[in-house]
Amino acid sequence: MSASPQLKEQVNEKKEGDNSMMTMNDKESSEVSATEPRTVDKTEQKKKITESEVIDQAVESLKVGLLSNYQNMSVAPLVGVTAETGPEYLTMTEALEGELLEVTEIDHGGSVPNLRVRNLCDKNVLLLDGEELMGAKQNRVLNTTVLVAGQTEVVVPVSCTEQGRWSYKSEKFMDSKIMMAKAARSSKSSSVSHSLKIQPNSYCSDQGKVWEEIADYHCDLGSHSSTGAMKAAYDQREDDLRACREAFPLVEGQRGVVIFVNGEFSGCEILSRADAYKLVHQKIIESYSLEAFREKKESSGKPSAKKAKALLGQISSWKTERFKSVGLGEDLRLQNCESHGNALLVDESIVHAAAFGHDS
């Protein structure tokens, strides 16, 4: 999609300004070298921030709130204590509702692992790893987090969450209002990280494993879908999910969450902006709640806010690899023994991070 005339004019003005500045700098450099040699001190060179440093900054911008418990699930809210940094953006939910974002099959024939996203507004739009889109030829989830720049079009990597349908329900996708269930999302994220190691620009998942995970949820939860749709498991457990939503409400200034299931670390989620987190809080809680419904086990682990804080502090020491993101910024893949995760880094700030504990 081409940019608006006004946007093009702003871009051209910026380029002209940048070119004239380069010319002035080149001239000043020539004048200096003509008089005497100048040794550049290494400390003058800008140091690129490390993955560990940006993750530490994200964690240190938060405090762990009071732990809440319901059945076999415990949740610690992460509340912002410093000014929000990094780029501003809309969530996928509000962009779709405002008809500022258009998501379709890549062409009429469609392609299971790819969708076309058109950002129709001037603001960035954030699509979160695991968020589900429903409609078109079959429901899909995002394979990784993508920040789509204003007035741009990108092809995003996705996984199918409705194995038994390949026919149009609608021309465009809608927000299904759910996020992929935790274990399936964790498995998907791990397979995407594996794909990136083999081919740096490939954000492919193990689609067969995704379908297998969804079938396991239906079996464990007693739910059913004639098309194998993941969303049916959520719809058929709505009463239970409502109880979990009420048990773990949003708190003021919240930007993230740490979740324990059966006494063990299940996962955590961090967003850079409280207004954005507010719109995805319910999706995240339901994603982990569905996991908690599957199997209630006795555990020697005892969740606490202190334990949540300690776990957060360890993430910056996990092995990290950088890859070019599909949209703006860089995609970080995190690994620590049986735990792993992913994060989106833009303008030297973590926009979104997700870490997953061991899947029992």
Residue 151 belongs to what H/E stretch? none
Instruction: Give me the phi and psi of 328, to 5 degrees please.
Output: -75, 150
Q: How many CA atoms lie less than 13 Å away from 316 in the CB half-sphere?
A: 17
Query: In which region does residue 157 sit, left (phi positive, over 0), alpha (psi from -120 to 50) or beta (all else)?
Result: beta
Q: What is the amino acid identity at position 43?
A: T
DSSP string for residues in 171-186: SSEEEEEEE--HHHHH
**Using CA of residue 238, residue 239, residue 240, residue 244, what is the dihedral sign?**
positive
Q: What distance in Å separates the CA atoms of residue 90 and residue 200, rounded to the nearest whole number?
A: 28
Q: What is the amino acid identity at position 61?
A: S
pLDDT at 13 (0 to 100): 44
What digits encode the pLDDT tens for the residues 251-279?
Answer: 999 999 999 999 999 999 999 999 999 99
Average pLDDT in the 142-164 region?
A: 98
Which whole-number Å values give the CA distances from 22 to 19, 25, 40, 44, in the listed order?
Answer: 5, 5, 18, 18
pLDDT at 337 (0 to 100): 86
Three-state secondary structure call for residue 38: coil
Average pLDDT in the 145-174 region?
A: 98
Kindly report which listed range (18-27, 87-96, 273-282) carries the lowest average pLDDT score.
Answer: 18-27
Say how far residue 129 (Cα) sits from the centre of its chain. 4
Say how far residue 301 (Cα) sits from the centre of its chain. 28
Q: Is the pLDDT of residue 152 over 80?
A: yes
Q: For 241, which DSSP code?
A: H
* Residue boundaries of the structural domains of the chain: 5-44, 51-356
Give the strands of the sheet with 114-119, arranged side by side. Answer: 101-105, 114-119, 153-160, 140-142, 131-135, 173-179
pLDDT at 23 (0 to 100): 36
CB atoms within 10 A of CB 310: 12
What digits encode the pLDDT tens for the residues 91-147?
Answer: 999 999 999 999 999 999 999 999 999 999 999 999 999 999 999 999 999 999 999
List, as own/partner pairs, every contact residues 40-48 make where C-beta atoms lie below 8 angstroms and the sequence separation is at least 24, other chains included. Answer: none
Q: Is the pLDDT of residue 10 over 90?
A: no
Average pLDDT in the 198-211 region?
A: 95
Q: Which two tokens stand for residue 34?
A: 């003509």
Which range in 18-22, 25-29, 243-247 is most confidently predicted, on average pLDDT? 243-247
